[in-house]
Amino acid sequence: MSARSKARKRAIDVLYSADLRGVPLASALADEAQRAASEPSREASWLYAREVVDGVIDHGDEIDELIQTYAQGWTLERMPAVDRAILRMGVWEMLYNPEVPDGVAISEAVDQATILSTDDSAKFVNGLLAKIGAAVAH
């Protein structure tokens, strides 16, 4: 697994844990930063994970609005928490990280959904991110 893929997984962990525990994302990020300080060998994955989570903090309302708008028949609350985390990461990468092509952001999100979530999640994540990508093509 590449360092960037590990970082995505780490970002999803932070997004998911904050959501599940009902704590502010900034607090979950600070907790992870403390843990990361004691793991210098994982610094490469931490730096990008932090960038993703900071981006979701900065653009969370817009990201959630896009997810809500294009997730026909699904509310954010109805989605599994891990799917919300994966989608938030994927939307952030597509819209706010010009270094990551949309196809890569979608593929990485689908891979994470396949590993971490339900049998139907990968297809759901793929379809939803593809719709959002087409709607906001840049």
How do residues 69-82 score in pLDDT, each as one tens digit?
Answer: 999 889 999 999 99
Supply the pLDDT for residue 65. Answer: 96
Class of domain 3-135: mainly alpha
Supply the pLDDT for residue 137. Answer: 76
Measured distance CA(26)–CA(32) in Å, rounded: 10
Is the pTM for the entire model greater than 0.85? yes
Q: How confident is the model at residue 92 (pLDDT cuts 50, 70, 90)?
A: very high
Tell me the torsion sign for CA atoms 120, 125, 126, 128.
positive
Q: H or E segment at 7?
A: helix 3-21
Q: How confident is the model at residue 138 (pLDDT cuts 50, 70, 90)?
A: low
Supply the pLDDT for residue 21. Answer: 95
* Pick from 23, 4, 25, 24: nearest CA to 109: 4
Q: Is the pLDDT of residue 1 over 90?
A: no
Measured distance CA(113)–CA(110) in Å, rounded: 5
CB-CB neighbours of 101 under 10 Å: 12
Q: Of 23-27, 36-40, 69-73, which gets the smallest average pLDDT?
A: 36-40
